[in-house]
Structures are given as structure tokens and as C-alpha cells.
Amino acid sequence: MRHANKKKRIGRSASHRKATLQALSTALIRHKRIETTLAKAKALRPFVEPILNRAKDDSTASRRQAFRRLQDKEAVKTLFSDVADVIGDRPGGYTRIVKLGQRAGDAAEMAVIELVDFNDVKPEGSSGPKRKTRRSRRRSGGGSSAPKAAAPATAPAEEKASTEAPEQQEAEAVASDAANPEATGNPQVPQTEAGADHPDAEQGAPAGTGEPNPEAQAENQGRSGENRG
């Protein structure tokens, strides 16, 4: 009776199936990656992983059990010398199956079976399921995302003031002094008023001088002579 004793028969008898799996296991241990049909890859995984797990214990009993399953001395040496050191920290799941699509001749499903620790890159042309990347929103934190207000542009006004002509600046200064004479500390007195108030104005002397005017004296002497005559 077959109580829970189901196996992948892969279309072969027991002896043929055993020889096929031994050859595939030996090739996988030597090359670390082989290409075969998907059915053979699925049948190879439960056959070869117990052998890989036994390689962690490097003893005579473990080597004899591995040789009983593989029937290849070179494969056993490679298993305990090269592979055991790399897969020592892994608790299980030593192989990976990657689908490649259908074969051109008979449309058989092809796949690659490989050792996980020796092959980190998927082969080209694999049609495995694509993982959707999740995009997470990053919080802005304590800072605000509003842009800072730009500083007022004062450079053009300063350039304009510096480029004004010096003559125009002097003219504006003179005009401001004339409009507000008290601010300069030197008030200007009109000549007409100064000449009227000056004591020499009656004597005919020119305004602003202390000497008498000769023409005015001659006129005064002529008038005085007429009055006497």
C-alpha cells in the first residue's frame, strides 16, 4: 500500500529515475548551476538537499552516506571541501528554481536550478514573477516645506544712486542751500537793502566802501556855489 508515498516519477522507472537524479545532483554540485526541464528540477530538489545538509557534518559516516546517494568520489570531495564551507550557516533551502519558458523543439517548460549561496544574480530571460516595489512616503519631519521668502532686491537702487552724475548732485545741493539759507549759517543780504542802510550811501560812495565818491563831491560843490551866488 502507498500511504503518503507520492513521488515525481518524471516518466521513468525506479532505476532510471535514480540514475537520472544522481547525474543531475553530481552536475549541480560540480557546476553550482544547471539548466534542465522544470519537472526534473522539481524532482531533483528533494533528492539533493538532504545530501547538501549532510555535508555540514564532516565525518566518515556522512561521507559514506553522500557517496551512497551520488556514486561519485569527485563529487563527494567537492561537496565536503567547497560547498560545505559556504552553506554552513544556512538552515535549509539550499537550491533555487528559476523558470525560463518553453523549449523551442517540444515546448517543454525549462528551468534553472542553482545553489543559492553561489548564484545571487538571476539568469537572463527568466520569466519569474515580478515583485512590486512599495513606495513609502517620507515625512518632512519638523521643518516646513514652504519656500523661504526672497530678500528684497536693494542692489539696483544702490547702483542707480552710485551712477548719478556728480554735477547733478552739486546742482541739487546748491538749490537746497538757496532755498534754506539759515541751514548753511551764511545768510545772503540783498545789495539794494545793504546800500540803502549803509551810512556812506548819502555821500554818494559806492556801497560796501568807506571812501567818498569824487563825482558826488563835485556835484555838491557846484550846487553850493550856485546857492551862494
- Walk me through the domains of the chain, giving residue ranges and CATH numbers: 14-118 (3.90.1030.10), 188-222 (no CATH)
What is residue 221's predicted lDDT score, i.e. its pLDDT?
73
Query: Bridge-partner residues for 34, per DSSP?
Result: 113
Task: Kindly report, residue by residue over 76-102, the tens digit of the pLDDT.
Answer: 999 999 999 999 889 999 999 999 999
pLDDT at 82: 92
Q: How far is CA 114 from the centre of its chain?
A: 38
Q: How far is Cα 217 from Cα 177, in angstroms, rounded to an integer? A: 42
Output the pLDDT for position 182.
Answer: 56
Residues of the chain below pLDDT 70: 121-171, 174-214, 216, 222, 224-229
| Angle of the 14-31 helix axis to the 60-70 helix axis, nearest 10 | 120
State how far the Cα of 124 lies from the Cα of 99, in Å rounded to an integer. 11
Rounded distance, CA 56 to CA 86, Å? 10
Q: How many CB atoms within 10 Å of residue 110?
A: 19
Q: What local confidence, expressed as pLDDT, does residue 7 receive?
A: 84
